[in-house]
Structure 1
Amino acid sequence: MTIERLQKIIANRGAVSRRAAEKLIEQGRVSVDGQVVTEMGFKTSTDALILIDGKEVIADDRKYYFLFNKPRLVLTTMDDPKGRKTVAEFFTDVPARVYPVGRLDYDVSGLLLMTNDGDLANFIMHPRYEFFKTYQAMCRGIVDKRQVKKLINGVTIDEDYFTKAIDAKLCNVNNEKNISIVELTIAEGKNHHVKKMLAAADIDLVKLKRTKIEFLDDDNLEVGEYRELKPHEVKQFYGIYNQNKRKGDL
């Protein structure tokens, strides 16, 4: 009989990510063999009867991996008490419960990974390994090279947090419409990170979209559509995962 932490078992069964499972446990929404569990370090048998909100968490042996082009004004969550549209509504035809890896703001469009693979999701969201994410920002006004260079050299956000873009460039300037397009790549993920960086560089953001996650790009994927990751793409993510695991980073 194998004993593991409750949140890991839930994630491995494909119900939600490990972080999401921790929140559910804290909220008293998880029971094990008939007993509600709120202790974060709780361990149990991998074949225990686990319920979330009264519904059994059943293991799905097949792992699903999707690249989703999230529209604006859609929440990166599986449900919303206020009834707003969520990413879950785009995956009703998928036989397993897939959930978002990481987050993308309500008013930001672009690429998002969806999976029921708890181990991979936990790795991608792990603070010790931050994936490169590229964004395109439509900005009001004529952005100059000095402002773009400031993003690369580094800006201070949240009063005392210094952060740099991995890369940044000015893609387009439309003098007639008074609009600029700035592209930047980051390897961090604090709340509203890109928005705060642009504001710190005195860039007036109008609209933001994520165009790339590591080696994955939108590849003509229409807004609101998703595609399944190809086997070699999953292997590439797992190659990074296994390298870091061997180094003891996880």
Structure 2
Amino acid sequence: MMEDRLQKIIASRGYCSRRRAEQFMLEGRVKVDGKTITELGSKFSTDCKIEINGKILLETTIKKYYIFYKPRCVVTTMFDPKKRKTVADFFKKEKIRLFPVGRLDYDVSGLLIMTNDGDFANYISHPRYNFNKTYQALCDGEVSKQQITNLLSGVIIEDNYKAKANAAKIISYDSKLNQSLISLTINEGHKHHVKNMLKSAFIELIKLKRTNIDILDLGNLKPGEFRSITKEELSKLFGKIKIQNIGEKQKWE
């Protein structure tokens, strides 16, 4: 039987992404054949017995992929100790455990991918593949062309890091409300990345929504609704990252 790194086996069984699996391992929440494993480089047989939080991790051959319109004031986790509403609350009827790819802040709405394919989640969220993410920001006051230029040329955010927008533009300005609507596209994912960019450009944010991840968009979805990602969309995403084997040996739904 083949051997592989434990975090990759966990991801392939559809429990979470590799990065999340690594976090679980470091927290001492993962056991193989009854032994707690915290070493990230550990390799095991791909059919080994894995437990996470005391529950046996079974493999599934059915992979699911959804575009979810996350509402504001919803936590991008499957469980929240503060008892706030989570993304998991919208998928209670699903028999297969799903998890979010990446995250959106509690007060940010918009497009979130939900899946049980850990390898897919790993590739979509990995910075080397440069998947563009587009946001719409409702801002207080009239955003100037110079502020948009600053976002494109780069602004300093955390730890003196210079962040640039791939694209940015003013969509509209409401003179009565004195509010601007702008769009901003990035391919990075630092914590509070877009919020910090707007702050550094002296743009006062009111509300933020993610509208696109690469070719995926919200379409006609309303907050709290979701739809399956089509095979055609998946093929385009896989083609972009030049991964030909993901999904070939799996049953698609």
Would you call these one fold, judging by a TM-score over 0.5?
A: yes
* Secondary structure of 1:128's aligned partner: helix
In structure 1, give the amino acid aligned to 2:37.
V
Q: Return closer, same or farther for 1:132/1:244 CA change in 2, 3 Å cut-off.
A: farther
Q: Is the 8 A contact 2:127 2:187 kept in 1?
A: no
Deviation at 1:132, TM superposition (A): 0.3
| Offset from partner CA, 1:186-240 (integer Å, 9 cap, x none) | 1111000100111111100010000111011110111001000111111111112
Alignment partner of 1:4 is 2:4: yes
* Secondary structure of 2:233's aligned partner: helix
Matches of 1:183 and 1:127, distance apart in 2 = 21
Q: Is the 8 A contact 1:120 1:241 kept in 2?
A: no
Alignment partner of 1:179 is 2:179: yes
In structure 1, give the amino acid aligned to 2:168.
A
Deviation at 1:93, TM superposition (A): 1.3
* Secondary structure of 1:239's aligned partner: helix
Matches of 2:79 and 2:139, distance apart in 1 = 31
Matches of 2:235 and 2:38, distance apart in 1 = 35
Q: Is the 8 A contact 2:238 2:244 kept in 1?
A: no
**Unaligned ranges ≥5, structure 1:** 246-250
Matches within 5 A, 1:191-230: 191-230=191-230
Deviation at 1:127, TM superposition (A): 2.4
1:35 maps to what in 2?
35
2:142 maps to what in 1?
142
1:77 maps to what in 2?
77
In structure 1, give the amino acid aligned to 2:7.
Q
Alignment partner of 1:14 is 2:14: yes
**Unaligned ranges ≥5, structure 2:** 246-253
Matches of 1:159 and 1:5, distance apart in 2 = 33
Matches of 2:202 and 2:49, distance apart in 1 = 53
Alignment partner of 1:51 is 2:51: yes
In structure 2, give the amino acid aligned to 1:207.
K
Give the TM-score normalised by the residue count of structure 1: 0.95
Matches within 5 A, 1:150-169: 150-169=150-169
Percent of residue pairs bearing the same amino acid type? 53
- Greater displacement, 200-209 / 127-136: 127-136
Matches of 2:10 and 2:3, distance apart in 1 = 13
Deviation at 1:78, TM superposition (A): 1.3
RMSD: 1.3
* Secondary structure of 2:104's aligned partner: coil
* Secondary structure of 1:198's aligned partner: helix
Deviation at 1:241, TM superposition (A): 2.7
* Secondary structure of 2:62's aligned partner: coil
Deviation at 1:91, TM superposition (A): 1.1
Deviation at 1:84, TM superposition (A): 1.5
1:68 maps to what in 2?
68
Matches of 1:53 and 1:210, distance apart in 2 = 32
| Offset from partner CA, 1:42-95 (integer Å, 9 cap, x none) | 111111111111111111101100000001111111111221211111111112
Give the TM-score normalised by the residue count of structure 2: 0.94
Q: Is the 8 A contact 2:129 2:241 kept in 1?
A: no
- Greater displacement, 120-129 / 191-200: 120-129
* Secondary structure of 1:199's aligned partner: helix
1:121 maps to what in 2?
121
Matches of 1:229 and 1:127, distance apart in 2 = 21
